[in-house]
Amino acid sequence: MSKNLVWYGELTDPKRLTRRGLFFLSPGMLWLLAFLVVPGLILIVVSFATRGQYGQIQWTFTLENLKRLMGFSLFGWSADYLLILWRSIVIAFVTTVVSVALSYPLAFFIASRPARTRYLWLTLVIVPCWTNSVIRTYSWFLILAPEMPFAKLAAYFGFISAGAPLYPGMLAVYLGMISLYLPFVALPLYASVERLDWSLVEAAQDLYASRYRVFTQAVLPQTLPGLSVGIILTFVPAMGTFIVPDLLGGAKYMLVGNLIQQQFGSSRDWPFGAAISLGLMLLTMVGLQVFRRRGKGMEFI
């Protein structure tokens, strides 16, 4: 005999509720299971397979791909791949930090505008967000070209050879990444900043708190929801990005995204690509946990 209960004002029993719940839940869940979870699991399995002679998958299981990821290749030990993973984390981290640092002034600025013009400024931030990332990335080719003053300045100081463009290179990659991901931090952050209770800030100031403490104790905690959304929307894609390093880094500055893309593309080494994906996934999880410890309450726009 199933208990009757009142749920949302409706008198019903758990079985009927569960049935109806499943009816709602299943289309979406099944889809996600079929096209994300199960393939993901298969991917994990593939990471233990071997690459055949001509690039096909051979189902002989081995830990070799993971070993190779750790650096034990046919040519002896080298920290290549770990280096790439490390480089990706650093770049993602720096990009996120710089984007956050630049987004706060931007968000405050927009929040300080009269309500009429706020939409205008917001639109200015949204437009790059909606614009295609390939376009936004390759447009740096023009700014960093040899004829432009920036490249000429760098050549004058000897950073690059005369007549060379400022790409491919670390600087170009950072510029591309920051300009790509900044709006993704700015918008959620602005959503939080807009709802900021300025009385708390004033109270802190009244109590003679230093500027720094006003920020960290009155402003930061209130903006945390928006900040955490922004960080996740930046850090995760930045970890796996491959357009920016591909176009602006050339083959000189490989990141994890390029590496994976290369394995599924010209190297035709799906097992190794899967192994790297596994590594990337683990790292992303770890990175997110670190960020998440500092922020509670995920709220979406």
Q: Tell me the CA distances in angstroms from 221 to 26, 105, 225, one per residue in order.
A: 37, 16, 8
**In the bound complex, what is the minimum distance in angstroms from residue 54's beta carbon to another protein?**
4
Backbone angles phi, psi at 57, to 5 degrees: -90, 125
Judge whether 87 and 283 are in contact, CB under 8 Å. no
| Closer Cβ to another protein, 33 or 224, answer by number | 33
Of 26-34, 59-67, 216-224, which segment contacts another protein by CB under 8 A?
26-34
Count of Cβ atoms closer than 10 Å to residue 252 Cβ: 11
Which residue from 2, 139, 210, 216 is in contact with another protein, where contact means CB under 8 A? 139
CA angle at residue 241 from 240 to 247, to 5 degrees?
A: 150
Residue 24 touches another protein, criterion: CB under 8 A:
yes
Residues 186-225 that bind another protein (CB under 8 A): 198
Residue 28 found at the interface with another protein (CB under 8 A): yes
Binding span for another protein by CB under 8 A among 59-67, 216-224, 241-249: 241-249
Q: Return the residue of 4, 58, 78, 210 that touches another protein, per CB under 8 A.
A: 78
Contact (Cβ atoms closer than 8 angstroms) between residue 125 and residue 106: yes
Instruction: Write down the least CB distance from residue 218 to another protein, Å.
Output: 13
Nearest to 83, CA basis, from 241, 287, 253: 253
Residue from the set 220, 251, 286, 290 that interacts with another protein by CB under 8 A:
251
Stretch that binds another protein, among 59-67, 213-221, 238-246 (CB under 8 A): 238-246
Counting contacts by CB under 8 A, is residue 236 touching another protein?
A: yes
Q: Report in angstroms how near the CB of residue 66 gets to another protein at its nearest.
A: 15
User: CA–CA distance from 109 to each of 114, 125, 142, 195 (Å)?
Assistant: 10, 12, 29, 14
Residues 92-131 that bind another protein (CB under 8 A): 102-103, 105-106, 108-112, 114, 119, 123-131
CA distances from 272 to 14, 26, 124, 254 (A): 47, 34, 42, 16
| Residue 154 in the binding site for another protein (CB under 8 A) | no
Nearest in space to 92 (alpha carbons), one of 191, 238, 193: 238
